[in-house]
Amino acid sequence: MESASNPIPAHTELNPPLTLKTQDGILVLSKPGKAPIDLHPLWIRERMEGPDNLDPISHQRLYEHAKFPSNLKVVNAQMTDTSTLRLQFSDGYGSEINLQTLEREIGWRDNPEALPLPKSWNTSHNVQSETDWSEIDNPEILKERLKRFLTYGFCIFQNTPTERDELVKLAGRFGYVRDTNFGQIFNVETKPKATDAAYTDLALASHTDNPYRDPVPGIQFLHCLRNEVSGGLSTLVDGIAIVEQLHKEAPEQVEVLERVNVRYRYHGPSAILEHHGPIIERDYRGIVRRIRQSSRVDYVPALDKHTLDLFYAGRKRLHELSNSPQFKIQFPFKPGTLLMMDNYRLLHGRTAFNGKQGHRHLQGCYIDHDGVSSLYRLLALGDKNTYVARET
């Protein structure tokens, strides 16, 4: 409650310009060029700083916010210096918060940890860039390469070590390698009795990997150990770009591909895997974040004819766009080439080759997105010494 012996004016002016609207117990933040914003007392209480609020190592809260009074109010506010705001609450609690932190939280100040937003691309954009593996020991170069990965969905590294199974260490620089029924590492090479088209010398149409898994692997690595054949070029297509194109042509088809949940199924000798999801998936901002395109394992439910007409037309057109020279880039694998690609966003494939010419051996593995996101945030905050450390 507000103290009767120390009444607070209806609006208390602070510097920089802040106001406290005491009749509601709400802090109103205002700034030249910005619309005033009301900060709910519970919202701001959960962001208070200090050793009695957050663990200094984990930065996790040291309290249960469910125990706060539902009618909590802000009863006093003052600047203790140019960047620190001290608040007093109606339950008697008082503490400080950094004003810059608060402004980043409400979008008034750039957040150095913010991940770059994706940008769509096609073959008219020069997005293919190669990096020598030795360069990523430089934190600034590594941060820039991660920025390009988060923006465009892939990176290509050259001159990596080519020892067998070295990929676990290479991919481990960016996150934790996921184990699947295929093991930590899978070998892509021509096999006499191939159980998958990837283990032949046939061309592979553009696709995403493992939509039947829950969760679907987020980032895929392909590492070339040997390549003694011509052909077999790796292909990449930006899923965001082909969705944008389809939306220009037939927005009703995109709507159906976003709405209809498809069943994806893998039935192998050691696992039966099923997962459901739409072919196109957006995040809370409307950005396309996931494409599930795998023509050998998708099963749409028995819906009405109109819906399925739109679904089949849209799926067909996405396939055509993803294999069009307008959207598909291609490049060769040579020993030491390492491709890192976003399996949620990019579609990949390869051109045909003659397996009788020699041995072509790639190894692949998966990591999750949060490894890359965490690494980028550490680098963005200037943590140049511990960015390769892994918690155990």
Q: Are 334 and 341 in contact (CB under 8 A)?
A: no
Considering the chain, tell me which residue range(s) the CATH 3.60.130.10 domain(s) occupy: 130-380
The pLDDT tens digits for 143-196 are 999 999 999 999 999 999 999 999 999 999 999 999 998 899 999 998 777 667
Give every CB contact of residue 171 below 8 A, 6+ residues apart in sequence. Answer: 177, 221, 340, 365, 367
Predicted confidence band of residue 50 (pLDDT cuts 50, 70, 90): confident
More confident residue, 101 or 391: 101
The pLDDT tens digits for 256-304 are 999 999 999 999 888 999 999 999 999 999 999 999 999 999 999 999 9
CA dist 347 and 342 (Å) reads: 9
**What residue ranges in 94-218 does DSSP mark as E strands?**
94-98, 130-132, 154-158, 186-188, 204-207
Predicted confidence band of residue 249 (pLDDT cuts 50, 70, 90): very high
The pLDDT tens digits for 345-369 are 999 999 999 888 999 999 999 999 9
Architecture of domain 18-105 in this structure: 2-Layer Sandwich (3.30)
Closest CA to 71 of 157, 167, 148, 1: 1
At 8 the pLDDT is: 39
- Tell me which DSSP letter residue 197 carries: G
Which sign, positive or negative, has the C-alpha torsion 183, 184, 187, 188? Answer: positive
Peptide bond into 16 cis (omega under 30): yes
Tell me whether strands 130-132 and 154-158 are parallel, antiparallel or unpaired.
parallel
Q: What does the pLDDT average to over 66-81?
A: 90
CA dist 77 and 72 (Å) reads: 15
As a CATH number, domain 130-380 is: 3.60.130.10
Q: Is the pLDDT of residue 1 over 60?
A: no
Considering the chain, tell me which residue range(s) the CATH 3.30.2020.30 domain(s) occupy: 18-105
Helix (H) or strand (E) holding 37: strand 34-39
